[in-house]
Amino acid sequence: MKRFVGFIKKEFYHIFRDRRSLFILFGMPIAQIMLFGFAITNEINNVDIAILDHSKDVTTQEIINKIASSKYFSIKQLIQNEAEIEAVFKKGKVKAVLIFEKDFSKNLTKENNATIQIITDATDPNTANTISNYTNSILQKYQQEINKNIKIPYQIIPKTRMVYNPELKSVFMFVPGVMTIILMLVSAMMTSISITREKELGTMEILLVSPLKPFQVIVGKVVPYIFLSVINAIVIVLLSIFIFKMPVQGSLFLLGIESILFIITSLSLGILISTVSATQQTAMMISLMGLMLPTILLSGFIFPISSMPLPLQVISNIIPAKWFIIILKGIMLKGVGLTFIWKETLILAGMTLFFIVLSIKKYKIRLE
């Protein structure tokens, strides 16, 4: 045990003496959150929506058909009452719900105006915005069609309401993404670099030719980075709460546990990378190209997974970050508990176990 503690102490010396990396490590979360605070426009494609039709008449049916036939939306579910709205959102099944008021057709012909309510999930503010714009344009088009031969035009009034993030703050949406990236970077890249550095220096040879067990070397390398990652996660959450006034809806305890799970996933990936690379440079390249890029591009952090081509959607399933982002959004923005995210948690845990077993198998107690 004393050996192990001595090892960890040494690791902390390394980390705290490399001022530049340390600065990047703790400066990055701040910089990234600021950076991604700005909105980025995205296209939408086949967004799942649900429909609550109180009227069920010819006009609503026509509008529903118009929406269903557009390439932007696919109708996932027809729901029967207001109470179900909350449930479909929380399950993450749909991004928006359209509600037709009672007697829609009658109101339109008699009063010359009828109301349609659009409720969007604004945890992803760009998508939410785009959804409401696209819906409006479909409605307007329909309106023009029916108004062709009529003197006093019929008017459909859309009322948009955003739930979960009504102020449309992009930063809320990016917080889970940034947190994922940072944890991935600190855990996977820094660990793999720090292990390969020992190989490059030749100190790994001495460590191997010492009574220290390989398992101890690896765990010793990993512990400081768990610590650093947890600090980073806390910094990010505090930043979001106090600077951007982001309300964290769910349990902080659950958030912590899930974060640690993801940190361990990333660390095991880092160890795996270090077993296949001989130099720090290779480790860095593999981490950046093999981990960071897919994480940024395919996790749903910047580009909504629902608007990706099918092959990429399939690939996105093997990106651990995708599941962690879903978990984070669930906890932070929707306030859901484990009952809603147990599936994602299980997937992430499974991946972690797989990577750990693989890296233990790959780790060599000799040089070749």
Partner 1 sequence: MSISVHNISKTFKDVTAVNNISFDVKEGELFGLIGPDGAGKTTIFRILTTLLFADKGEAIVANYDVIKDYKSIRNHVGYMPGKFSLYQDLTVEENLEFFATIFGTTIEKNYDLIKDIYVQIEPFKTRRAGKLSGGMKQKLALCCALIHKPKVLFLDEPTTGVDPVSRKEFWEMLKRLQKKGITILVSTPYMDEAALCDRIALIQDGKILEIDTPQEIVKHYPKKIYNVKTDNMYKLIECLKSYEHHYSVYPFGEFVHYTDKRDDFNPNELHRFLEEMDAVNIIIQPTETTIEDTFMELAK
**Residue with smaller CB distance to partner 1, 57 or 200:** 200
Contact residue for partner 1 among 152, 209, 242, 311 (CB under 8 A): 209
Piece of 13-21, 78-86, 97-105, 183-191 that binds partner 1 (CB under 8 A): 13-21
Cα dihedral sign for 68, 316, 357, 1? negative
Q: Residue 15 to residues 23, 25, 108: CA-CA distances in angstroms?
A: 11, 10, 68
310 counts as binding partner 1 under rule CB under 8 A: no
Distance between CA atoms of residues 345 and 324, nearest Å = 8
Shortest distance in whole angstroms from residue 223 CB to partner 1: 15
Two structure tokens written together for 159: 């009322």
- Number of shown-chain residues binding partner 1 (CB under 8 A): 26
CA 342 to chain centre: 16
Question: Which residues ranging from 210 to 239 are in contact with partner 1 (CB under 8 A)?
Answer: 210-212
Two structure tokens written together for 249: 């809806």
Shortest distance in whole angstroms from residue 220 CB to partner 1: 9
Residue 91: how many other CB atoms lie within 10 Å: 12
Contact residue for partner 1 among 20, 71, 151, 366 (CB under 8 A): 366
Q: Helices (DSSP H) in the chain: which residue ranges? A: 2-17, 19-36, 58-69, 83-90, 104-110, 125-146, 170-184, 190-201, 203-208, 214-242, 252-276, 280-285, 293-298, 310-316, 320-329, 338-362
22 counts as binding partner 1 under rule CB under 8 A: no
208 counts as binding partner 1 under rule CB under 8 A: yes
SS3 65: helix
Shortest distance in whole angstroms from residue 217 CB to partner 1: 9
Contact residue for partner 1 among 18, 48, 62, 103 (CB under 8 A): 18
Closest alpha carbon to 49 in 82, 89, 90: 89
Contact residue for partner 1 among 86, 205, 343, 362 (CB under 8 A): 205
x/- track of binding to partner 1 for residues 156-195 (CB under 8 A): ----------------------------------------
Two structure tokens written together for 203: 């100190």
14 counts as binding partner 1 under rule CB under 8 A: yes
Contact residue for partner 1 among 83, 152, 310, 367 (CB under 8 A): 367
Give the residues lining the site for partner 1 (CB under 8 A).
Answer: 2-3, 5-7, 9-10, 13-14, 17-18, 201-203, 205-212, 365-368
